[in-house]
Amino acid sequence: MVCGENRRGKTEAAKVAFARACAAAIPCLGTTTKTAARAMLTHANIAVIPNDTNVANTLAANPAAR
């Protein structure tokens, strides 16, 4: 899988549509975002800007997260 700068802009419309569909499918973002953060603990080379301290603390356990 190619991520980051190599694909930036090439699939922007699809990414926006995907993000909107995800947001519409999640009824409550409270604990869902923390659950999503836990699922990202094994991802390498990710950058996340959370607006929730619980999510930030969860992601801090991933040494590959920035």
pTM: 0.47
* pLDDT one-digit tens code per residue, 1-11: 455 555 666 78
**Does 35 have pLDDT greater than 80?**
yes
Percent of the chain with pLDDT over 90: 0
User: Measured between alpha carbons, how far is residue 40 from residues 8, 9, 12, 14 in Å?
Assistant: 20, 23, 21, 21
Domain ranges of the chain: 4-59
